Amino acid sequence: MAKARGSRGNATTLKRYWGQGAGAARIRWGTPGDFTRCSRQLSKYLGPRAKGYCARLHRERTGVFPGDRRNVGRRRR
């Protein structure tokens, strides 16, 4: 597959790794605390941009944003 002009390199590979691959297994999407685990793991590589990236990944993997009332992680009591 040829790179499109303006491509960000391995963005697709990284998204697959953290969204579906071994990185996703470490984050355990759909369980309480998944956004926090994602933010902590990716902050090593993305710095302050990690929270925004994880919010988008969370939406793709679970169907809701991290702060949404329908989010599994918010059901505590």
Q: Where are the beta strands (DSSP E) in the chain?
A: none
5 versus 52: which is more confidently predicted? 52
Q: What is the pLDDT of residue 1?
A: 43
Nearest to 56 by CA among 15, 22, 28, 17: 15
Does this model's pTM top 0.75? yes
77 versus 41: which is more confidently predicted? 41
4 versus 48: which is more confidently predicted? 48
**Model confidence over 8-52: pLDDT tens digits?**
568 888 889 999 999 999 999 988 899 999 999 999 989 999 999
Report the Cα 25 to chain-centroid distance in Å.
Answer: 11
HSE of 25, CA atoms in CB hemisphere, 13 A: 2
Ranges of each domain in the chain:
12-66
Residue spans of alpha helices (H) in the chain: 11-19, 22-27, 34-46, 50-62
